[in-house]
């Protein structure tokens, strides 16, 4: 009878605030059933991250400074819930020692109602506390998430070419999500565990200081066994997470549009399935090891837990140790003793949770602290995009990628307003790099680039974007409708303006013939359309921006002759009245250029009109001759 009452009381009293599961912890306190979860282990990667990029606590505190009132209320609610919850064992003691033996139904009704009231009060407080903590955490995460996204967008193109896209996405999503768990769950669980452990220990001592000392003897081996299990499971979990990361990479690469096309054209679908199946099979093995790790230790710990009430009952039977303990007191004490294990385990995890939290903040702050290579001017020069003439000058421009040799050196070039200047040269001569400097995708290592006499580094990025438009070989269309893709350039444009831009880009008839017209979905990266159609949609988008300066970066190099003619016609229409810099791969596209410059090894070695340079026996003439020779070899 006593055993059954004790077990049920323990189960009820053990229901408390559940802690969240932070990244890097095997299991958080309260994450499992019974009397507690295993103690987490420090992740070496987290320690390394914190060491490389330490985080000042004051910086984290600044994030929570606007929420001081909320934090104070949450702490008070947690403390109140912990204290109120401890009334249950005392109410049970009164029921067993007073109400039931004396058949005092009125007292029994009050005590039973008190049990319900305690449960209702702690539940209500828990809901309010969770709502407040979650809302505060979401606001902090929103601030960090938006700051990080905006800061990353301010980074140069070089940063994204050096950094894996998965790494950027992981910090913006996974790390923020992990921090959300730390902020909304782990922090509150620490307060809950601390107040619960202290209050429970005081209540145990008040009931029986002798039994309290006995409990202290039993707790250390239980905690030690829990840690041993955590260590075993952590190693398996790390291997499982690594395998999962590899599987996600296979899914991302193998099931994307480009990945599927590559697999089907190379005939690697069978090998891809085998590779995926092998990864999945290894996950099965790791999952089995994770579930079975330390089972005998857990069984031993179960015996220890079962022995705890047995030892207490045995001690209660001896006058020397019982101290005149009543049955009600015995049941209440057993319930408290069973409930104290989980908060203690939670408090033992505080160090791990702190390092985990610091590692997450470190990874986020590491990106936030990156100094953008392309900096917006503090006091930008005013230049009206509507009235700009479009005179472009490259003055002594040199450029080298980070820790690399010079790609451009000593470039002096002037683009007169309304003219088209073509840049040609062999592969690797620096043509595309030169084109990327004008829209400030990179900044020159030396020299400067001006528009109407103003250094482009002195212009606000928004102003430069309105003045300089780019049509590149690698067209990018978002996974949305044609209308949405066009409205990226001019959100205020009406349908008539959109159709006019499509007509100028030589693609209005094709779009009009589609069943859904402007609302046609372009598909991932525009794969529902051919390369030439994608290019013309991109040209239409650029037309809507109406830039005064235009950069055409090998916009037709990947197209067949028929499609090239259509796209080139659209580009010619786009270039009318604009200052145009043409990065040319096919020499046939430069015939209509006003000026031409030949690049070799990053330097301009020849310049002039295309017809004049064709007649001269110089670098351009040799490029033309080499191109004609290659074309002749292709003719059967």
Main-chain dihedrals φ then ψ at residue 551, nearest 5 degrees? -115, 120
- Per the listing, tokens 């410059």 go with 597
Whether residue 516 contacts residue 547, with contact meaning beta carbons closer than 8 Å, is answered with: no
C-alpha distances (whole Å) from 532 to each of 238, 483, 558, 567 are 47, 18, 9, 7
**Could you tell me the pLDDT band of residue 562, with boundaries at 50, 70 and 90?**
low
The full length of the chain comes to 636
Q: Are residues 63 and 147 in the same domain?
A: yes
Mean local confidence (pLDDT), 462-480: 85
Is 6 a residue whose pLDDT tops 60? no
Examine residue 213 and state whether it is found in any structural domain, yes or no. no
- Answer yes or no: do 165 and 246 share one domain: no
Q: Which of 70-84, 122-136, 217-231, 464-478 has the lowest mean pLDDT?
A: 217-231
Q: Answer whether 581's CB lies under 8 Å from 392's CB.
A: yes
pLDDT at 397 over 90: yes
Residue range 34-57: mean pLDDT, rounded: 60
Output the pTM of the full model. 0.65
Q: Which residues contact 359 (CB under 8 A, 6 or more apart)?
A: 24, 43, 45, 46, 47, 49, 50
Q: What is the pLDDT of residue 451?
A: 94
Q: How far, in Å, CA of 564 to CA of 422, rounded?
A: 17
Greater confidence, 493 or 336?
493
Same-domain status, 200 and 223: no
Residues 107 and 153 in one domain: yes
Where is mean pLDDT largest: 10-24, 280-294, 553-567?
Answer: 280-294
Residue 342 main-chain phi, psi, to 5 deg: -60, -50
Instruction: Map 117-171 to HEC letters.
Output: HHHHHHHHHHHHHHHHHHHHHHHHHHHHHHHHHHHHHCCCHHHHHHCCHHHHHHH
The dihedral built from the CA positions of residue 137, 143, 146 and 151, taken in this order, carries a sign that is: negative
Higher pLDDT, 368 or 268: 368
Among 368, 383, 400, which residue terminates a domain? 368
| Helix 105-153 / helix 57-64 crossing angle, nearest 10 deg | 110
- Residue 565 sits at φ, ψ, to 5 deg, of -65, -40
Q: Percentages helix, strand, coil for the chain, rounded to the nearest 5? A: 65, 10, 25
The confidence score (pLDDT) of residue 396 equals: 94
pLDDT higher than 80, residue 112: yes
Confidence of residue 16 (pLDDT cuts 50, 70, 90): very low
**Which 3 state secondary structure label does DSSP give 584?**
coil
Q: Are residues 235 and 346 in the same domain?
A: no
- Does 354 reside within a domain? yes
Number of H helices, E strands in the chain: 27, 10
Encoding tokens for residue 333? 């004490």
Contact 50/56 with Cβ under 8 angstroms?
Answer: no
pLDDT at 446: 93
**Residue 193, domain CATH:** 1.20.1560.10
Tell me the per-residue pLDDT of 280-306, one tens digit each, with 9 for 90 and over: 888 888 777 766 665 665 566 666 666
DSSP 517: G
- Residue 524 to residue 477: CA distance in whole angstroms: 8
Q: Which of 161-165, 366-370, 631-635 has the highest mean pLDDT?
A: 366-370
Burial of 168 (0-12, 13-18, 19+ CB in 10 A): middle
Q: Tell me whether residue 472 is in a domain.
A: yes
CA dist 148 and 152 (Å) reads: 6
Q: What is the pLDDT of residues 297-334, one digit of tens each?
A: 556 666 666 677 777 777 777 665 556 677 877 787 77
pLDDT of residue 47: 62
374 domain-assigned: no
Residue 473 makes CB contacts below 8 A (sequence gap 6+) with: 553, 554, 555, 557, 558, 585
Same-domain pairing of 235 and 263: yes
**What pLDDT score does 33 carry?**
37
CB 610 within 8 A of CB 422: yes
DSSP characters over 449-481: EEETTEEGGGS-HHHHHHHEEEEESS----SSB
**Listed range (92-96, 330-334, 514-518) with the worst mean pLDDT:** 330-334
Confidence of residue 4 (pLDDT cuts 50, 70, 90): very low
pLDDT at 11 over 60: no
129: nearest Cα among 195, 65, 207:
195
pLDDT at 510 over 60: yes
Same domain, 428 and 554: yes
Q: Which domain holds residue 109?
A: 2-208+325-368
In a domain, 419, yes or no: yes
DSSP string covering 314-373 = HHHTSHHHHSS--HHHHHHHHHHHHHSHHHHHHHHTHHHHHHHHHHHHHHHHHHHTPPPS
Residue 233's pLDDT band (cuts 50, 70, 90) = low
Whether 379 maps to a domain, the answer reads: no
Q: Per the domain annotation, does 418 fall within a domain?
A: yes
Are β-strands 446-451 and 549-553 bridged in parallel, bridged antiparallel, or unpaired? unpaired
Whether residue 354 sits in one domain with residue 306: no
What local confidence, expressed as pLDDT, does residue 633 receive? 54
C-alpha triplet 578, 401, 362: angle, nearest 5°? 110
CA gap 529, 479 in Å, rounded: 12
Q: What is the CATH number of the domain that holds 438?
A: 3.40.50.300
**Arithmetic mean of pLDDT over the chain:** 77
Domain tally for the chain? 3
Looking at the predicted structure, is the pLDDT value of residue 266 above 90?
A: no
The β-bridge partners of 413 are 394
Helical residues (DSSP H) of 171-268, grouped into ranges: 176-181, 187-207, 209-254, 257-266
DSSP H stretches of helix in 376-506: 431-437, 461-467, 482-487, 495-504
Query: How many CA atoms, within 13 angstroms, populate the side-chain half-sphere of residue 289?
Result: 15
pLDDT the model gives residue 26: 37
Q: Are residues 14 and 128 in the same domain?
A: yes
Give the separation between CA 507 and CA 517, rounded to whole angstroms. 12
**pLDDT attached to residue 14:** 36
Structure tokens at 387: 């009235």
Residue 2 has pLDDT above 50, yes or no: no
Over the range 321-343, which residues count as b (16 or more CB within 10 Å of their CB) and which as e? bbeebbbbbbbbbbbbbbbbbbb
Contacts of 566 (CB under 8 A, 6+ apart): 506, 532, 536
Shared-domain flag, residues 598 and 479: yes
Assess if residue 583 is contained within a domain: yes
Minimum mean pLDDT range among 167-171, 194-198, 328-332, 408-412? 167-171
Looking at residue 348, its pLDDT comes to: 66
Estimate the crossing angle of helix 295-316 against helix 209-254, to 10 degrees.
Answer: 160
CB distance 635 to 451 below 8 Å: no
Q: 154 with 17, same domain?
A: yes
Tell whether 196 and 251 lie within a shared domain: no
């Amino acid at each position: 009878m006593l055993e059954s009452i004790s077990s049920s009381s323990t189960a009820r009293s053990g229901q408390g605030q559940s802690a969240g599961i932070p990244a890097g912890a095997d299991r958080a306190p309260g994450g499992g059933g019974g009397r507690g979860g295993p103690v987490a282990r420090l992740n070496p990667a987290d320690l390394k991250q914190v060491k490389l990029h330490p985080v000042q606590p004051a910086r984290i505190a600044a994030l929570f400074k606007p929420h001081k009132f909320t934090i104070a209320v949450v702490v008070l609610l947690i403390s109140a819930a912990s204290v109120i919850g401890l009334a249950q064992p005392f109410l049970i003691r009164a029921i067993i020692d007073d109400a039931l033996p004396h058949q005092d139904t009125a007292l029994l009704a009050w005590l039973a109602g008190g049990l319900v009231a305690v449960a209702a009060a702690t539940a209500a407080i828990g809901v309010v506390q969770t709502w407040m903590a979650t809302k505060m955490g979401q606001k902090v995460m929103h601030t960090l998430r938006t700051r990080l996204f905006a800061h990353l967008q301010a980074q140069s193109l070089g940063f994204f070419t050096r950094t894996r896209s998965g790494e950027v996405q992981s910090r913006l999503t996974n790390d923020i999500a992990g921090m959300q768990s730390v902020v909304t769950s782990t922090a509150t669980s620490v307060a809950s565990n601390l107040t619960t452990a202290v209050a429970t220990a005081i209540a145990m001592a008040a009931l029986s200081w002798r039994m309290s000392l006995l409990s202290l003897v039993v707790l250390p081996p239980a905690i030690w066994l829990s840690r041993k299990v955590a260590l075993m499971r952590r190693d398996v979990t790390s291997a499982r997470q690594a395998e999962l990361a590899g599987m996600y990479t296979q899914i991302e690469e193998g099931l994307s549009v480009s990945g599927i096309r590559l697999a089907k054209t190379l005939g690697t679908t069978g090998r891809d399935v085998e590779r995926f199946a092998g990864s999945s099979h290894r996950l099965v093995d790791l999952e089995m090891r994770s579930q079975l790790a330390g089972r005998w230790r857990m069984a031993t710990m179960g015996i220890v837990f079962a022995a705890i009430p047995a030892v207490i009952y045995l001690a209660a039977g001896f006058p020397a140790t019982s101290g005149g303990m009543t049955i009600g007191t015995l049941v209440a004490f057993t319930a408290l003793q069973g409930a104290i294990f989980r908060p203690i385990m939670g408090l033992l995890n505080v160090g791990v949770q702190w390092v985990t939290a610091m590692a997450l903040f470190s990874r986020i702050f590491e990106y936030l602290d990156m100094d953008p290579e392309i900096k917006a001017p503090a006091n930008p020069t005013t230049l009206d995009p509507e009235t700009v003439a479009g005179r472009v000058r490259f003055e002594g421009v040199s450029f080298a990628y980070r820790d690399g040799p010079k790609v451009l050196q000593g470039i002096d070039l002037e683009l007169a307003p309304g003219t088209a200047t073509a840049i040609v040269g062999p592969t690797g001569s620096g043509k595309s790099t030169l084109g990327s400097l004008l829209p400030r995708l990179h900044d020159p290592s030396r020299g400067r680039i001006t528009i109407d006499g103003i250094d482009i580094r002195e212009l606000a990025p928004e102003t430069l974007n309105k003045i300089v438009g780019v049509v590149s070989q690698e067209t990018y269309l978002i996974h949305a409708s044609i209308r949405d893709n066009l409205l990226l350039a001019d959100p205020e444009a009406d349908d008539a303006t959109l159709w006019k831009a499509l007509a100028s880009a030589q693609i209005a008839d094709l779009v009009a013939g589609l069943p859904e017209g402007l609302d046609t979905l372009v598909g991932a990266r525009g794969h529902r359309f051919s390369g030439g159609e994608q290019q013309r949609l991109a040209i239409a988008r650029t037309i809507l921006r109406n830039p005064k300066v235009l950069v055409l970066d090998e916009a037709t190099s990947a197209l067949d002759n028929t499609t090239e003619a259509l796209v080139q016609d659209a580009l010619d229409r786009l270039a009318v009245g604009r200052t145009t810099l043409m990065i040319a791969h096919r020499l046939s596209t430069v015939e209509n250029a006003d000026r031409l410059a030949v690049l070799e090894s990053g330097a301009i070695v020849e310049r002039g009109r295309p017809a004049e340079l064709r007649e001269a026996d110089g670098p351009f003439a040799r490029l033309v001759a080499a191109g004609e020779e290659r074309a002749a070899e292709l003719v059967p």
